[in-house]
A and B are shown apart, each in its own frame.
Chain A
Amino acid sequence: MAERFTKADWEREHLLAGFDRLHDRLRAWAKSAPAWPPYDEAKGLVERLDPRLRVPEIDLDRALVVGFLGGSGTGKSTLFNALLGRRVSRAGKEFRPMTRRAVVACHPDVDPAFLGLDEDALEIHRLNIPLLEQMILIDCPDPDTQDPEDGEGGGRHLDILRSVLPHCDVMVHTVTSQKYKSHVVGQEVRRNAPGRQILFVQTHASIDHDNRPDLRRYLDTLGLRVPEIYRLDAAEAQAKQDAGQPVDAEFARFRDLLEHELASRARHRIRRANLLGLYGWLLSAIRGPVDAGLEAVAKLEGALDQERARMAAKIAAKMSERIDANRRLWRSRVLRQLNQTWGAGPLAFLIGLWSATGSLLRSLILLRARTPTQAILAGGWTAVSLVGEKWRESRAAAALTAEADLGLTEGDLAHARTILQGYLNDAQIRPSPSDDGGDFSAEQLATVAVEVYRRLDAEINEVVEKRVARRAGRGVHVVFEALFALLPAWLVLHMAKNFFYDHMIQGESLLGLDFVFQAAFWCLLWGVAVGGLLLSRLNRGLDHDLKAVVDRLAHAPLLDALCRDASDACLAVRTHSEALAALERDLADLERRVGGVLDLGLGALRVESPPELAAPAANPIPAKTPIAAG
């Protein structure tokens, strides 16, 4: 018979796929985590919880396991018996503690072997009653009578309790007036709360005061969400059952909840809610240390920025000092640029001549140029590359140039390095050193410096080009050439007039060589005046522009390379924390789809549990059995 794939089935598959995806992502996240203590811790946690996180479909379907947790004498066994309607587990006043092994009540069809418990740790009762069709009840030993330090005399019943609880989907927490605030019991509930639902019951209703309001307050301080607390009297219910009378309303309500709501209808929902609760607990347990660690990382980043800024300020100050000191160099560069743009023309020729003399001087200067900045100001990158090669070759040379030119000494580097190391320690980050010698090393600085010079050269070039193009374009060229030509033209005119008119017609004497010399002199003077005007026009405000370039450079991300290793490590940590946030969103999404179990009156760990309580308790558990959270 062909089975139909219903909408419910489809939704179910979809949900299971969601769980698988969440699980895969979490594993992938843990696996790819960068080395950092909070992440290492997270890895361990994921590893430990993995068997419980990866829940096969079949597991979501099996009988609901309900365990009883409460102080000795609070009536766990009595309630257990009353629910089953018969005396299965020994209850009474003779001894405290009374129950010393896990008493399991299950349907004959159910095999409790999956609990993986020791033979002598438990006692199995197979009962063919409707209550147990979808449910396994486990009466557990108490957590408060055994001295955790002497396991001997008191037996191992605390250990048995702790090995049973991890298998429970639901815990029934029984309390009495005397024991509801018991410290050890509270801690036990708390450590077993992640990933399971809790039903709170105050027993001894016929003889004890109603302490539920205070109990609720107390549970709240433990970080538990408490929708409902039942208050009933199991001894009375049992007596009534024995006598064949109807049981108390509250008891009946409690039994119905277990039998009809939880075990049959809501079983899957509870399992999924448990799983989600476990994920939620896990993620918040991971989140706590990560967030705490990120604060130190933020401080580290702040320190990095501060050190870089300090260096940038020094570099900028030193470079603008250089610009002030080397006026002639950058002016000659402007001249050369002008010469290149203008090409032909009398004034251009004159300027070319001027520039050529300048070049000669410049090459002389370049020979003496001690620092790259001077070289750049004078002659551009090609000159610098030569020097640059040299720095890279020797560390000492690098340090020297850096000091001379960037205004940074080895001392400054030592200063920055030491502070950085301190913050690295604080943030527990160990960056893997790259091949440039590590953060704030002289080599790294040299590499950065070469980059700075390259950029400086390019930017200066751009400034000069732009300036020449804007202030001495074609139009200006024509105007200035014309202006320059004005005097020679007038002189030519004058000479022509002298020759053709004055001399030939009027018979006056020709202008002598005197005049020619004078004319040449005046032409030169005129040319210098016009050229000077042009150059002053070009050079005005240039130092300002150059300083702006330096300033821009000092603030450019160029300097980020100065401690790249550390910032890379910080970035990796941050990115991974964002990936964790994505996981949290995935989980929230899944939670929305599964829906809560609040309507059932089940308590559980609040999601926003206080971080100091969320520490996982050590729980040695034999291999192969599912692992407990607490």
Chain B
Amino acid sequence: MLEYSTWSRRVVDLAGALSRLEAEAEAAGIAPQVTAAWHANLHQKLVPQAVDAPYLIVAVAGGANMGKSTMFNHLVGFPASRVHHNAAETKHPVCMLPRGFTDRHDLAKVFPGFTLQPWKSEDDAVAEGHPDGLVYREDPTGSQPENLVLLDTPDVDAALPNNWKLAEAITHAADVLIALLTQQKYNDEKIRRFFRIAAEADKAVLAVVNLIDWPDDRDHCRGWLDTFRKGTGAEPLHAYAVPRDRAAVRDNRLTFHPLSPRATDPRKDLAELQFAEIKIRSLRGSLRQALDPDEGIPAYLRDLEKRADDNRQARAVIHQKVQVKIDLPRPPGHIVGDEIWRWLEPRRTWFDRKVHGAYGALGRTVAKWLPGSVEPAEDEARFLAEEKTQLNKALEAVYHDLEQVHRVGSPALRQELQPLIAGDQRRRAFEELQRRLAAAPLATEAYRRAIATRLEAFEAEHPTMMRAIEWGLVATAIARPAVTIGMFGAADMAAGPLFDAGGHAIGQVFFDVAAGSALTAGGEGAFARISGPARALIGDLFAAFYRERAELLAKVIDDCVVGRHLDRIERLADLGQGQDFQTAYKLAAELSRELAALDEPALEAAAAEG
């Protein structure tokens, strides 16, 4: 026998890890499998009952209008659940607890997921109420055995799916089922499937064949029970026949004709059940079902792993495909030049200032008359207009790439990308880009600081070359670095100087400053002679400027185009590697192995017998 205490601990751990995993998965867009059998087995039965549960849960179950409530009322001895001639009337489980049960146990832990409502009247069960409502009452008669919890359940086959859901949840928690059967429904597919699942979870079953013509149907009953056994795999501990008798229903005094050798009356038989044996069998059955390789926890974990793989692939595809090179226009030269002057200003001697002031003025005057030179304001306007065009085109390219990825992507990825490339979303992104462009100044405070830092470093390294700079040689030199914006720069981040656009590890803008080749100058001859380090310096200063401009687009891409969604892809991709996944995987594997080892001797014994 599986050692109670050793595995109850692990079951609780497993449930905890799975809950966290499910929460992570849900945050990433995978709905939790709350309706799955393993989920109910784990959370409705194993966790609440694994530690210590000295009681048996007995549930009356079956299809609509088969007399479940009638049967339940008989068991508890008074009309506790409304009997109604319309089908699917019972909409909430009704739970009758033995005296003092609530003092010894926390009901919310016994029935997790249910909204507990104290019993007020017989009509509670048929009232429209909370979809997860469960009505409970402590047995007022005091005759209920103290280790039995009795439940009436909604139907499993009529038109209200919520009823099935509640009935299934209760059944998963139960140890003993009282299976209601009738001539019309005993072999219905829905009913059969319901009890087959219960039988697979090793629950004890008592069969009650209701609404029969006694004694005419006595012989039929055995045949029906045989069909039931074959169809469901259940071996009822006891079986009874209950005649169709209106008066008996009215007086809550049903007649039970035993159909199995040791059966007497269900109330008496229930009180004499082999408590420990049934409890352990049902717990083990639940564990087996929860760990079912095809439908249980292993399947769920496999599914998550597959999703993670899919998303890792998606991530790779997006990374490869979505990349735009931006061809930003020639910058307004004075932007950098002015900043350099500004930096130099307080550092110069009186003489320098005089001389260079004159040179500076001269330089500016000369620059004005150089062919092709323009006013700073005009130059800025030109830059802004061209830049806007380029950034708009870059955004178009991003969308184009995303669409390509969407077209060839896996269904999961397609679904993920669908909202990204919808018209409304695109409009928002473009509007945001225009808005930010309009609001952004050409030279920001951050840019000034970057320039100052770089110049100071340069001064420390090449004190002699500062002269050339002070002489304003660089004032009209211009560098144009190439800018590429791409997603998921993880690999590239390692490879090159990268710039992180946001808090996420996505929407990377990476830079490639082709300083040498892209360096152009306003007044060719003089500036072509700029030496290596100064050239690099200028390249860097312009790169810093371009970085700020490209950052604008990168932020828009991050905030409005893909950010949140790629975040989800990222999270899904990492799901299979998390701690909780590993824990759940390990525990599930361990428990499965131990269960298999336990089942083996039993199987061998069965084989030997057979």
**What residues of chain A have their CB less than 8 Å away from a CB belonging to chain B?**
71-74, 93-97, 144-148, 154, 176-184, 186, 207, 209, 211, 214, 218, 221, 299-300, 303, 409-412, 414-415, 417-426
Contact = CB atoms under 8 A, between A and B. Distances in A.
B403 A425 contact: yes
A181 B66 contact: no
A421 B399 contact: yes
Most chain B CB within 10 A, of A71, A303, A426, is at A426
A415 B184 contact: no
B423 interface: yes
Interface string B386-398: 0011111101100
A418 B389 contact: no
A418 B184 contact: no
Interface majority SS on B: helix, strand, loop or mixed?
Answer: helix
A419 B87 CA distance: 54
Contacts of A209: 85
A93 B87 contact: no
Contacts of B86: 211, 214
A72 B389 contact: no
A73 B395 CA distance: 66
B23 interface: no
A96 B228 CA distance: 11
B189 A94 contact: no
Contacts of A73: 183-185
A252 B33 CA distance: 53
Nearest to B210: A178
Contact of B393 (A74, A96, A411, A423): A411
Interface stretch (B357-365, B424-432, B538-546, B592-600): B424-432
B186 interface: yes
A423 B426 CA distance: 9
A448 B416 CA distance: 38
A422 B426 contact: yes
A383 B158 CA distance: 82
A96 B187 contact: yes
A74 B189 CA distance: 15
16 contacts: A93-B217, A147-B192, A154-B189, A183-B159, A183-B190, A211-B85, A218-B159, A221-B159, A303-B423, A411-B389, A411-B393, A414-B392, A418-B396, A418-B430, A421-B399, A422-B425
B85 A299 contact: no
Contacts of B348: none
B159 A186 contact: yes
B244 A93 contact: no
B220 interface: yes
B157 interface: yes
Interface residues of B, number: 49
Contact of A422 (B187, B188, B193, B421): B421
B395 A414 contact: yes
B73 interface: no
Given A73-B184, A94-B220, A96-B183, A180 B87 contact: yes
A178 B187 contact: no
Given A303-B423, A422-B426, A426-B422, A409 B66 contact: no
Contact of A177 (B65, B217, B430): B65
Nearest to A296: B423
A424 B403 CA distance: 12
B64 interface: yes
Contact of A183 (B158, B185, B400): B158
B422 A425 contact: yes
Given A178-B63, A221-B159, A425-B403, A72 B85 contact: no
Most chain B CB within 10 A, of A176, A183, A186, A207, is at A183
Nearest to B190: A184
Interface of B: 63-66, 85-88, 157-159, 161, 182-190, 192-193, 217, 220, 223-224, 227, 244, 385, 388-393, 395-396, 399-400, 403, 421-427, 430
In the A-B complex, the 5 residue pairs with the smallest Cβ-Cβ separation, listed nearest first, are: A411-B389, A423-B423, A411-B392, A422-B423, A73-B184
Contacts of A97: 187
Given A182-B157, A419-B430, 19 more contacts: A71-B188, A73-B184, A73-B185, A96-B188, A96-B227, A145-B187, A177-B65, A177-B87, A181-B158, A182-B188, A183-B159, A183-B161, A209-B85, A211-B87, A410-B393, A411-B388, A418-B430, A419-B427, A422-B425
B416 to A, nearest CB: 15
A154 B189 CA distance: 10
Contacts of A418: 395-396, 399-400, 426, 430
A423 B223 CA distance: 64
Given A184-B189, A425-B403, A417 B158 contact: no
B182 A178 contact: yes
Nearest to B397: A414
A60 B281 CA distance: 64
A209 B67 CA distance: 13
A234 to B, nearest CB: 14
Given A178-B87, A218-B159, A409 B187 contact: no
B182 to A, nearest CB: 6
A212 B399 CA distance: 59
Contacts of A411: 388-393
B184 A145 contact: no
A73 to B, nearest CB: 4
Contacts of A178: 63-66, 87, 182, 184-185
Contacts of B182: 178
A93 B220 contact: yes
Contacts of A186: 159
A69 B433 CA distance: 63
Nearest to B183: A93
A71 B87 contact: no
A145 B157 CA distance: 12
Most chain B CB within 10 A, of A71, A95, A96, is at A96
B87 A303 contact: no
A94 B65 CA distance: 21
B396 A72 contact: no
Contacts of B66: 178
A410 B184 contact: no
Contact of B87 (A146, A181, A221, A409): A181
Nearest to B216: A93
Contacts of B224: 96
Contacts of A147: 189, 192-193
A207 to B, nearest CB: 7
A183 B390 contact: no
A218 B65 CA distance: 15
A409 B393 CA distance: 10
Contact of A94 (B223, B385, B427): B223
Contacts of B421: 422, 425
A27 B29 CA distance: 43
A30 to B, nearest CB: 28
Most chain A CB within 10 A, of B63, B86, B388, is at B86
A439 to B, nearest CB: 13
Most chain B CB within 10 A, of A145, A146, A423, is at A145
Nearest to B184: A73
A176 B399 contact: no
B88 A181 contact: yes
A144 B188 contact: yes
B190 A144 contact: yes
Nearest to A416: B430
A412 B159 contact: no
Contact of A144 (B189, B217, B244, B391): B189
B401 to A, nearest CB: 12
Nearest to B244: A207
